[in-house]
Amino acid sequence: MKLNIGIVGLPNVGKSTIFNALTETAKAGVANYPFCTIDPNVGIVNVPDERLYKIAELEKSKNIVPATIEFVDIAGLVKGASKGEGLGNQFLSNIRQVSAIAHVVRCFDDPDIVHVEGSVNPVRDAEIIETELILADLQSLEKRYEKTAKAAKTGNKEAKAELEILEKAKAILEDLQPLRLHLDKFEEEQIDWLKKTLYPLTIKPIMYIANIPEEDLPNGENNIYLKQLKEKAEKEGAPLVILCGKVEQELIELPKEERKEFLLALGLEEPGLNKMIKTGYKLLGLITYFTAGEKEARAWTIKEGTKAPQAAGEIHSDIERGFIAAEVINYEDYIKIGSMQKAKELGQLRIEGKDYIVKDGDIIYFRFNV
């Protein structure tokens, strides 16, 4: 399943530091000047899920395979990117290829770290990027609009239907609004058409990552910049993750056995990056189901609403093709019983057919024949 999240933001907001901490590498360059990242860095990250480790413990599994999610560290954007300023064209091309956006916003003062706009202002900074994405979408739309309007004048029914969609989208973008905030104005098939035809940047789901200073951890309640960003995120209905990129980087440099103590000293229960990964997973509309046994406990990633045969296809196309039934128990019920063997003996495994929609936390054994 090729779904990924692009990490974006103005230069010097901490994108590459956060990416390096996420992937536990020094893959992305980190420096105190704009455009330190030029080519996008790609990292595959394990999705933290305590359920998988509990299942593995109870099943005495020899191997554990977590679900993963892909993050892409994209070059910093500046005002005028839609006209090719900075690395504008490259940035827009890279972001067009991701499924969702993690927008890192600087919420700290530091005279030693250059701010491309000369001062810290999280709402303004977020809006600079948003405006450039809107203008880029408008450019793409206007090219299509002209051609479609001509065809519609000749009485072409398909062109007329397309023009209706384009006019709605054009009005939203000309009002400097992102499409994702106005999807209720479109039919579902119209949204699909937009995504497959114009690949708009502002239709992609977004989450904001507030990069706060260490002294404001754990929750940044006294950080005025964070309050401003929170208001913006709440108004848009977008998720907001609070973390300190510097601390996350320091954390991964510690031996694993010392990390818990380090977090507790800062008043944190888990790394901020865990929240970022989980939020990103949810933002993409993903859920997890498990397969478990003595040999292996594994988490599988599927889109919410996936039916059992297609979920089986994530394991192997032969299982989807030869699907007979799914033996299912949800995690909560499984924990009460304590093992798949006991669940089977007690008759607690449900038999589900090809129309069953897999739920998050299902533990499944697939019956198939090829």
- Residues 131-149 have pLDDT tens digits of 989 998 999 999 899 999 9
Structure tokens at 292: 């478990």
**pLDDT for 321:** 97
Q: Which fold would CATH assign to domain 4-282?
A: Rossmann fold (3.40.50)
Residues 323/317, Cβ–Cβ less than 8 Å: no
Q: Is residue 86's pLDDT more than 60?
A: no
| pLDDT value for 30 | 40
CB 287 within 8 A of CB 362: no
167 has pLDDT over 90: yes
Tokens 């400097």, residue located: 176
25 is in an annotated binding site: no
pLDDT for 16 equals 87
194, 179 Cβ separation under 8 angstroms = yes
Cα atoms in the Cβ-side hemisphere of radius 13 Å centred on 264 = 5
CB-based contacts of 359, cutoff 8 Å, min separation 6: 287, 289, 330
93 marked among binding-site residues: no
Q: What is the largest CA-CA distance in the chain?
A: 71
User: How many whole angstroms separate alpha carbon 71 and alpha carbon 68?
Assistant: 10
- Residue 7's closest CA among 255, 204, 178? 204
As a whole number, mean pLDDT of residues 256-261 equals 94
Q: Where are the domains of the chain?
A: 4-282, 305-368
Mean pLDDT in residue range 249-254? 94
Strands 296-303 and 63-65: parallel
Q: Residue 280 above 90 pLDDT? A: yes
User: What's the chain's average pLDDT?
Assistant: 91
DSSP label at 308?
A: H
Q: Is the pLDDT of residue 84 over 80?
A: no
Place of tokens 């019956």: 367
Query: Exposed, middle or buried: residue 347 (CB in 10 Å: 0-12, 13-18, 19+)?
Result: exposed
CA atoms of 258 and 255, how far apart (whole Å): 6
Determine the average pLDDT of the residues in 217-232: 97
Q: Residue 28 and residue 42: Cα distance in Å, rounded?
A: 9
pLDDT of residue 305: 98
Taking the C-alpha atoms of residue 322 and residue 139, their distance in angstroms, rounded to an integer, is: 47
CA 183 to chain centre: 19
| Portion of the chain with pLDDT greater than 90, in percent | 81
The answer to whether 14 is annotated as binding is: yes
Check whether 119 is labelled as a binding-site residue: no
224-236 and 122-153 helices, crossing angle to 10°: 30
Answer yes or no: is pLDDT of 27 > 70: no
What's the average model confidence in pLDDT over 175-185?
Answer: 97
Say if residue 16 carries a ligand binding annotation.
yes
Q: Are 7 and 72 in contact (CB under 8 A)?
A: yes
Position 67 scores a pLDDT of 94
The fold of 305-368 is Ubiquitin-like (UB roll) (3.10.20)
| 32 confidence band (pLDDT: 50, 70, 90) | very low
Q: In the predicted model, what is the mean pLDDT of residues 229-243?
A: 98
